[in-house]
Chain A
């Protein structure tokens, strides 16, 4: 439900796959038919040198006097590093703390997610058939939306749990005054829930 750009994720996977396949094929072909490898390496470096000469790249005085395409490869490496770091830092966006924002004549009122947690998740947690209830707010299409995750005990009536959740949402609607989109997620039990004791003290 967060705003992570999934197309970028998939694009990176596809690009990585293509590059890895090319590297793997090059390794296999280079070892099995080294003369092909030497020939194609010479061709590729020839192309690179001609392209860079045509682009009239300035001559740098660099220790070791490497061919120009090595410097280009280094520059490419720097660009790729910057892009990858930017990619890493932009994952998992979209969580928000405020759930309702309203402008009144007296000023702006913002309602925090913890209020929603108390009104929505609190009464559900107290029910006998609910093992756990969490709430998180995200920004979806410019609007704050709430995800209410409920873990229900084995053997509980799902329709009843859902009705209780919808009642809690109705109570929240009355309280908040604004209609906030709510996602109710009935989650699987995890191994930790299996270890939980079957006895609850209230």
Chain B
């Protein structure tokens, strides 16, 4: 019976990193198909006495064709690229777009999109702009806010940054914000 803190630690670590179950399942199914057909081919080669000779002759004729050889080389290159993707998937941490923390009673996980929307709405309210003119990107290091102001109305960058950071801090997930004001504004 583990303590609640240990439970929350495991939960939050699993929630903030990708599981790779999808790609692993796909790979397992494809591998199963490949192994099964390979076994079938081997058994066919054993049972049918001239299958081996025919297969070798067929392979020889295929390899003699220049276009087929180019195709095989291309397929091999694609296979190596895919393999690099698989290995990267296995080794990279796979951090998900979420922020997490524990409170006294519960553990809290918030998707980055929710934080971006909340920050954008807060900035729009503080600066009197429509929220469609505010775009927020949530990065590892902090928020990047881009504001398209109303023509002729100056926008205080510091106020925008404070508003965006405060919207996230309200949930207890402290972060920094950097704001960029677009050079050209819009009417209304």
Contacts and interface: CB of A to CB of B under 8 A. Distances in A.
Interface majority SS (helix, strand, loop, mixed), chain B = helix
Given A14-B87, A16-B31, A64 B63 contact: no
B125 to A, nearest CB: 9
Given A141-B6, A185-B109, A27 B73 contact: yes
B137 to A, nearest CB: 14
A183 interface: yes
Contacts of A1: 11, 14-15
B57 interface: no
A169 B35 contact: no
Nearest to B78: A24
Contacts of B29: 88
A174 to B, nearest CB: 12
Contacts of B90: 10-11, 13-14, 17
A184 B173 CA distance: 14
A80 interface: yes
A116 to B, nearest CB: 13
B28 A25 contact: no
B53 to A, nearest CB: 12
A92 to B, nearest CB: 7
B21 to A, nearest CB: 6
A198 interface: no
Nearest to B92: A10
Contacts of A115: none
B91 A14 contact: yes
B83 A17 contact: yes
Interface stretch (A28-36, A46-54, A104-112): A28-36
